[in-house]
Amino acid sequence: MSTPNRTRWTAADLPPLTGRTVIVTGATSGLGTVTARELARAGAHVVLAVRDTARGRDVASTLPGSTEVRRLDLSSLASVRAFADAWDRPLDVLVNNAGIMAVPEARSADGFEMQLATNHLGPFALTNLLLPHITDRIVTVASNAHRRPGVDIDFDDIGSERSYSPWRAYQQSKLANLLFTRELQKRLTAAGSRVTAHAAHPGYAATSLQGRTAGAGQRLMMAVANRLVAQPDSMGALPSLYAATQSLPGDSYTGPDGRGELRGHPAPARRSEHALDDARARRLWNLSEELTGVRFAPPQAGSGRR
């Protein structure tokens, strides 16, 4: 699929997606709902992979085109495995959209720090378990937050067991998204697959995500910023939609083209030096396999759309 010949890409530029199947995780609100809506509008069959299936069905009833709802709790490896085990047909695109941000300290059912579990380990396991079915690409939603000074993967305390900072844990999980994408693409290429891995970030988009952060003061500040600074979720979803449908090299990273990558239309995004570090990417991958018990299972060699 070729990129439209215009500089300000919008959802109106989506190509026809009839006959294609896409999974969007976290599709009951914000960026996920917009992503699902626009892909369905373009003709794709969209699977809303969500924790709350009743809410998912309510959202699906408002969407155009062909949709279905399946339960998925990314913080639970049992739920991830159940979802993947039930998948029995080709999948064109997986959009790893679901995430949480700077929440109070909590542990997942598997004992992992909740942001690490939901934002990285769950998508890591889901992607690898679904890989034998994927025919085109994986898109993982990252964040500008990974570029904040000092953000790195704390391999000695990745689960924040010694100390917990809501924002540090979030930033680490978003760096993990980019390192995951980088190493995944390397492994796909080595396996001879044409399936590709991509990342995208929404800039600063007004969604319900900010309303779940730790601390009433922070929530108030972010509510004000949502009104004064943020772009709407319809704009924040554009980088994900672009990465899911346009002709891009593997390990691409797309974000808004405005100042500071906070607002605007899809364009190549900047990564931190740590996010480009192959040694970090390999180390995180190996640790993620150890923690989840899920290993790389490549699509058939040569598989993927041309």
3-state DSSP assignment of residue 196 = strand
> Which candidate in 164, 204, 242, 253 is catalytic?
164
Q: Is 253 a catalytic residue?
A: no
Distances (CA, A) of 127 to 24, 49, 112, 232: 12, 13, 18, 28
d(CA 156, CA 165): 15
3-state DSSP assignment of residue 95 = strand
Q: Which residue has the tokens 């980019």?
A: 178
Closest CA to 158 of 111, 205, 109: 111
Q: % helix / strand / coil in the chain, to the nearest 5?
A: 45, 15, 40
Tokens encoding 236: 């924040």
Tokens encoding 125: 């396991």
Phi, psi of 44 (to 5 degrees): -70, 150
Quickly list H helices, the chain: 30-41, 53-60, 77-86, 114-116, 122-130, 166-190, 216-228, 233-236, 238-245, 278-292
Would you please indicate which residues are annotated as catalytic (active-site) residues? 164
